[in-house]
Amino acid sequence: MLDNITYLSDDEAKEMICEIGRRVYNKNFVAANDGNISIKVGLNEVWATPTGVSKGFMTPDMLVKVDLTGKVLEGTRKPSSELKMHLRVYLENEEITAVVHAHPQAATAYAMAGIPLDHAYSPEGVILLGKVPVSPYAAPGTQEVPDSIAPYCKDYNAVLLANHGALTWGRDIIEAYYRMESLEHYSMTLLHTKKLTDQLEELSAERLAELIQIRENMGIKTGGNLISREEALKLGANNEPHDSSSVQVDQKLIQSIVAQVTEEVLKKLW
């Protein structure tokens, strides 16, 4: 058990949840009643957004306080069924005190395509996010959802939810929110780049190691293992002798899917 965590007060946590709710709504990371936000305020106490409320129009009195089993401690509204994801993150990783779930369009496009963000393309992507895996599909509101994200809670900073959206967490609510913002910005940059060319240049192993060291110097010990340029080339070389035709087909299929998803996302944005 960690003893160096400073928790927000109840009032501070509720105000921050409403503030972050307005931000994710104004940035179009959510629509209608989508998304959830929670902040841990004690060893067994969590303030969270209720079900059926737009994140852009929340007030502190709407929020719900629960324990780590989901039992309501304070509040008159019903917590979202997706709160199970948040509680699982807290149970798996004691350092985490805030979780943000949203449906940002570019990141969700990658989630729907089943494509993880696992290549080292930019310094910001390496330092702020690291590798972002795709969790297996799980029916919303079921126990399958927290089970699907459990393997990623300790070693990663974010996860794409297959056919659903994205989940980020942090040592405080600002870190959790910034990771969601960075995830969408990075995803959108990749989509724009893929619209221009299929030739995305990975960072070298040397550059990747430098960035990981910078990340660790910033106190960020998580982020998973990204694929460097050398590793990407090696993976390609290892695949070719076995069945180069199938590799080419797979690459064309992936490129086709990404192109279609990119076109749909950009149509909505422009």
What residues are labeled active site? 82
> How many other CB atoms are there within 10 angstroms of residue 107's CB atom?
28
Both tokens of 180, joined, read 């969601």
Relative to beta strand 134-135, strand 158-161 is parallel
Segments of 62-118 assigned E as strands = 64-66, 72-74, 98-102
Torsion sign, CA atoms 50, 137, 22, 38: positive
Alpha-carbon gap, residue 99 to 88, rounded angstroms:
10
Q: Which residues of 134-150 are buried (b: 16+ CB within 10 A; e: fewer)?
A: bbeebeeeeeebbebbb
DSSP annotation of 125 reads I
Q: Reduced to 3 states, what is the DSSP secondary structure of residue 81?
A: coil
Q: Which residue has the tokens 């990119």?
A: 262
Longest dimension (CA), the chain: 62
